[in-house]
Amino acid sequence: MQIQIFQDEESLHRAVAKELIEAVKTKPNTVLGLSTGSSPLGTYANMIKDHQVSGTDYSDVVTFNLDEYVGLDGTHSQSYRYFMNTSLLNHLNIPLNQTNVPNGTGDLKEACESYEAKIVSAGGIDLQLLGIGTNGHIGFNEPGTAFDTRTHVTQLLQETIDGNARFFDSAADVPKRL
């Protein structure tokens, strides 16, 4: 593992975007694991700018996102599908049917199994972008989640709900499961 320390947030975003862009240029059908929240927004902005200026081709890329709120469909303004579409995917030439976000509605057990099967069918994830929550959660896998856990529904800790309340009208509106 290589650890890098950056002078500022913008330098970090440029470097991370460069890694993702180089992965796509090296392997056009790369499978990217993407994340949501405020942390990757600068990275996504750099990827969009590169696509507009340099024309990096995403037409063969497949993406998988880490999570989705239970009970929100992809058209809800606080869903992670909506976030990804507006923050990145709608600005690249990647067909939306090659972008995957877990289904937070319907039969959740089936949705988890289906999502895991899609990842396996795609050959796994080549490069994963992650953020770490204030309590150390990764992809909303709250502290204490086993490392070998696959796609699953999780109950959010109150600390995580409170941290996400800024995106909703109130903490009461934040879905409690992911």
Q: Taking the model in full, what pTM does it have?
A: 0.93
Write down the pLDDT at residue 33: 98
In a domain, 35, yes or no: yes
Task: Show which residues are catalytic.
Answer: 67, 135, 137, 142
pLDDT at position 2: 86
The CATH number given to whatever domain includes residue 137 is: 3.40.50.1360
Residue showing tokens 């507009």: 52
Can you tell me the distance from the alpha carbon of 134 to that of 110, in angstroms, rounded to the nearest whole number? 30
What pLDDT does 131 receive? Answer: 86
- Spans in the chain with pLDDT lower than 70: none
User: What does the pLDDT read at residue 165?
Assistant: 87
CA distance 138 to 134: 10
Taking CA atoms, 123 is separated from 53, 95, 116, in Å, by 30, 19, 11
pLDDT score at 178? 79
User: How many structural domains is the chain composed of?
Assistant: 1
Domain annotation covers residue 167: no
Is residue 17, in this structure, part of any structural domain at all? yes
Angle between helices 41-54 and 9-26 (to 10 degrees): 50
**Residue 98: inside a domain:** yes
Range of the domain at 52: 9-152
Give the C-alpha separation, 24 to 29, whole Å.
7
In a domain, 159, yes or no: no
Compute φ and ψ for 127, nearest 5 degrees: -145, 125
Write the pLDDT tens digit of every residue in 28-41: 999 999 999 889 99
